[in-house]
Amino acid sequence: MAHGYLIAIEGIDGAGKGTQVDLLVNALRSQGHSVVATREPTDGPHGRRIRARSVAGEALSPGEQLEAFMLDRAEHVRDLIRPALDQGAVVVTDRYYLSNVAYQGAAGLDPVGILESNAARFPEPNLAVLIDLSAEEALRRVDARGEERNRVFERETFLLRALKIYRSLSLPYLHSVSGEAAPQTVHTEIMDRVRAILSEAKR
């Protein structure tokens, strides 16, 4: 049976994940790959609950947040990610379980425990790319978009804690790129890493 590739784009809010997902998906499709683009939290019932509550500033407890994310991810993996991988597609997701490690870790839960729990239940990414950008610059970009800040997560002190956890991770599939560069420069570095992953798997 064919098996695809799971690529997660990670980083704090404002780091440019959405832009890089779009650039990567378009580049891979132009090269003839079957690509599925997705994101977490999803647009399913658990994902919508997470998004609505956080945007409104109605914070769930860290434990409730993690439970909602895990329920959302279980459906995401069952209904979209695993079937796409089984069909040999490249799945590119804007956030995956390392976001929980960083964000719910920053909210006070145990990052190691979150990582171990997710790794035991869900497919490990072939590649996770951390777009590393300072919290100050990330929030400046959020404000420049003219969007209202997410009152639960888009606070500098919180993002500093999340970024510290992201930077502390040492995983064989995790690669960090600087988010300070121009989007096309960041994309080029990500594409180089993706090509290496795809070519290694063909050997």
Please give the pLDDT value at position 52.
77
Q: What is the pLDDT of residues 155-182, one digit of tens each?
A: 789 999 999 999 999 999 999 999 999 9
**Sequence ranges of the domains in the chain:** 5-202
> 10 Å Cβ neighbour count for 27?
17
Domain at 5-202, CATH from 3.40.50.300, 2.60.120.1440, 3.90.1010.10, 3.30.390.50: 3.40.50.300
Q: What is the pLDDT of residue 1?
A: 44
Cα distances (angstroms) measured from residue 144 to each of 56, 138, 179 = 20, 10, 16
The contacts of residue 176 (CB under 8 Å, 6+ apart) are: 129, 130, 132, 167
Residue 100, amino acid? N
pTM value is 0.92
Summarize pLDDT for 80-115 with one digit per residue, the tens. Answer: 999 999 999 999 999 999 999 999 999 999 999 999
Look at residue 147 in the predicted model and tell me its pLDDT. 65
